Amino acid sequence: MGPIRCLHMNHINAAIDDYDQTVAHMADLYGAQLIADMPRAEWHACLLAISGVIFEFFAPHDDLLHARFGPHYVGVEYQTTDVSLAREVSADRGVRIVRELGPAFHVHPLDALGISFEFFDRSFHDDPPPMTYLEPLRPAGDGRDHPCGITGLARYSTVVGDMDAAVEFLTQYVDGTVVYQTARPAVAGRAVGLRLGDTVIEVLAPTGPGPIERHVARGEGIRAVVFEVEDLDRTREYLVARGVDVTAGDAEDTLAVPSPHNRGLAFEFAPR
């Protein structure tokens, strides 16, 4: 059975602590747009967009069951051609469904490199969108009108213990295509970039002791969201002026806001 065909990234899913503080932080620092507010009995969820990149945040009301991990990236939702076929492919590969929604489903992260892929047959960038937004989604611009200079998504990164097995999984399960391979010496890792639909996922594996090895020891999964920016120097100046502790990113030409300074979620920035 062939792989699932990913067409378009709808949103990146993340678990967060303190709904109000996290939403306010993202709006104040990155100009995030709240487009949907979705409170439920078990959590408070929302959709936030940063220069056209949509995040779905989940803030559980009871911290006990996720306190060990704290805020973290849960997975990514992709638009696909046929959700029923995606279920069949998942079953064929032994990838369990951890949350069934009918029109969409989430897979178990332990069966998918620590990533809970979600599949749906609509785009959250459609007009009209698949759900009612609080206000129209603002499209990505050229960065000049964004406070941080963000023009869109460059890629997102994930860490794995076995690079060959990860690349095989992503090519055979979700139709990933390898577009680059490179070393990441600053973090003692190597990287393989794969195109999934309209996004790139950068898979990182350790080459020795260092940040990637330590991340893998905590568990495989998404490490950072990497935004594309119009001018990296301007982005750095803006963040420093706002009192943000900016560091080097995983790649040589990137900078980062580490997770402890970003409500528990790592953001990186790469030049366009």
pLDDT tens string 87-140 = 999 999 999 999 999 999 999 999 999 999 999 999 999 999 999 999 999 988
pLDDT of residue 135: 95
**Using CA atoms, how far apart are residues 157 and 223, in angstroms rounded to an integer?**
5
Q: Which of 192, 166, 198 is nearest to 179 (CA)?
A: 192
**Residue with more model confidence, 249 or 70:** 249
Q: What is the DSSP string of 50-79?
A: ETTEEEEEEEES--TTTTTT-SEEEEEEEE
| pLDDT, average across residues 3-23 | 97
pLDDT of residue 136: 94
Confidence of residue 31 (pLDDT cuts 50, 70, 90): very high
Mean pLDDT of the residues in the chain: 95
pLDDT of residue 144: 74
Task: In the chain, list all ranges with CATH 3.10.180.10.
Answer: 6-120, 150-271
| pLDDT, average across residues 257-262 | 93
| pLDDT, average across residues 27-36 | 96
Confidence of residue 147 (pLDDT cuts 50, 70, 90): confident
Whether 114 and 26 have beta carbons less than 8 Å apart is answered as no
pLDDT of residue 143: 64
State phi, psi for 223 to the nearest 5 degrees: -95, -45
Confidence of residue 1 (pLDDT cuts 50, 70, 90): confident
Task: Judge whether residue 233 has pLDDT over 80.
Answer: yes
pLDDT of residue 36: 98
pLDDT of residue 96: 98
SS3 197: coil
Whether 8 and 79 have beta carbons less than 8 Å apart is answered as yes
E-only strand ranges, the chain? 6-15, 33-39, 43-50, 53-60, 72-80, 97-100, 105-107, 118-120, 150-159, 177-184, 189-196, 199-206, 221-229, 247-248, 255-257, 267-271
**Using CA atoms, how far apart are residues 21 and 118, in angstroms rounded to an integer?**
26
pLDDT of residue 181: 98
Task: Judge whether residue 68 has pLDDT over 90.
Answer: no
How confident is the model over 33-64, as pLDDT tens digits?
Answer: 999 999 999 999 999 999 999 999 999 988 77
Considering the domain 150-271 in this protein, what is its CATH number?
Answer: 3.10.180.10
pLDDT of residue 66: 75
How confident is the model over 222-231, as pLDDT tens digits?
Answer: 999 999 999 9
pLDDT of residue 71: 94
One CATH from 3.10.180.10, 3.30.70.1560, 1.10.1510.10, 3.30.1330.10 for 6-120: 3.10.180.10
